[in-house]
Amino acid sequence: MPKRVTVAIPTYKRGKLLIDALQSIIVQNVAFNFEILVLDNDCDKALEKKILKIEHPENICLKYIAVPDLGLHNGRNRAAVESNGEIVIFIDDDVITPSGWLEAMYAPFQDSQVGAVGGKTLPKWEVPPPDWLKSIPSDYFSLLDLGDTSREMHWPQTPYGCNMAFRRELILTLGGFPPDGVGDGWIEWKRGDGEIGFAKRVYDEGYKILYSSEAWLYHRIPEKRQTVGFIRRRAVKGAISEAYSEAKHSSPSRLSLLTQAAKHTAKAAIAALKQLAVTFRGVESWLKYDILWVHHSISAIYKIRLALDSDLRKWVYKQHYWTDSASAAIAQRLVKL
């Protein structure tokens, strides 16, 4: 029999999508008991009532947990604290899971050296995507497709948050997930590298991370995400996460940060000139330079801020990002591990 399993779903103001995701999970045909935790950043009482009214089999425990500290990472970390599962499976609130997904997601953990699993994630387009979107990297939509054969992953390959699983003990002992999604704004300066940064810690501890083609699901992609504006916002977030990760792991001096910012500024200028040269050839031609311009511009600004803002530096170099209440609960959990 499997060890205890938890499915955790952080959510924020997407009730309809969440209910669809829940409905696809409660029909999973598995022989073991498991729990589903809904971690709501919106603390919506009406949503809580809807969730608790959902009928489900006796082998499932469905819980709603309000998480007032805004941030996707706060929901994930709270799930690890509240979980009764030894394996915590994380999905987004806009996925649809097919039959067999849950069992396939758990199966690799029978190997004690497996610390994490990333499931295959396929797009479910609400409308047919425009041709130019084919040139955009799949990670912009949190899609993971390494083929139809399950295999071990190697750094820098990592799972994505919409379909991943970790041993709860590792989440608690390695400091939890660094910040990732924090709010609705375009620019979130206090943004980290999320599941990618945490997966690096798991690798560093000597654990294996596996890719499972059998644990596949659909990630819903609405029309509003099929726009140049959305791609630019993703580029902004990606630039901040990458700059955070570089600083976190290398601890550069302030002079080094300013030097790096100057190099990013030069690269941004070159990208802008290249974009200008192909402006009239269509979005397929200029978008890649636009993304480069955004990436280097934001990277330059971030590193200047990090060099000059002592509060931001303290935040980046924090050992962990648990809330105070979570830290106390973790201490109690660790005693039991």
Question: What are the tens digits of pLDDT across the range 126-157?
Answer: 999 999 998 999 999 999 999 999 999 999 99
Cα distances (angstroms) measured from residue 237 to each of 45, 245, 307? 30, 12, 19
* 211-230: average pLDDT: 97
What six digits make up the tokens of 208? 């294996």
Spatial contact of 76 and 161, defined as CB atoms under 8 Å apart: yes
Percent of the chain whose pLDDT exceeds 70: 93
pLDDT at 1 over 60: no
Query: What pLDDT does 8 receive?
Result: 98
Query: What pLDDT does 71 receive?
Result: 87
| 3-state SS class at 151 | strand
| 94 vs 179, residue with greater confidence | 94
- Asked if omega into 156 is within 30° of 0 (cis), the reply is yes
Residue pLDDT, tens place only, 260-314: 999 999 999 999 999 999 998 889 899 999 999 999 999 999 999 999 999 999 9
* 302-331: average pLDDT: 85
**What number of other Cβ atoms are within 10 A of residue 277's Cβ?**
12
Query: What pLDDT does 6 receive?
Result: 98
Percent of the chain whose pLDDT exceeds 90: 84
pLDDT at 161 over 60: yes
Query: What pLDDT does 69 receive?
Result: 87
Q: Give the H or E element holding residue 310.
A: helix 310-316
How sure is the predictor about 180, in pLDDT bands with cuts at 50, 70 and 90? Answer: confident
* 41-50: average pLDDT: 96
pLDDT at 237 over 60: yes
Per DSSP, the chain holds a count of helices (H) and strands (E) of: 11, 9
How sure is the predictor about 111, in pLDDT bands with cuts at 50, 70 and 90? Answer: very high
pLDDT at 335 over 60: no
How far out from the chain centre does Cα 68 lie?
19
Half-sphere exposure of 100 (CA within 13 A, CB side): 6
pLDDT at 121 over 90: yes
| 3-state SS class at 35 | strand
Query: What pLDDT does 322 receive?
Result: 85
- CB proximity list for 46: less than 8 A, separation 6 or greater: 15
Sequence-distant contacts of 278-284: CB under 8 A, at least 24 apart: 282/132, 283/132, 283/228, 284/131, 284/132, 284/135
How sure is the predictor about 202, in pLDDT bands with cuts at 50, 70 and 90? Answer: very high
Query: What pLDDT does 65 receive?
Result: 97
Q: What is the pTM of this model?
A: 0.94
Phi then psi for residue 91, to 5 deg, are -135, 165
pLDDT at 22 over 60: yes
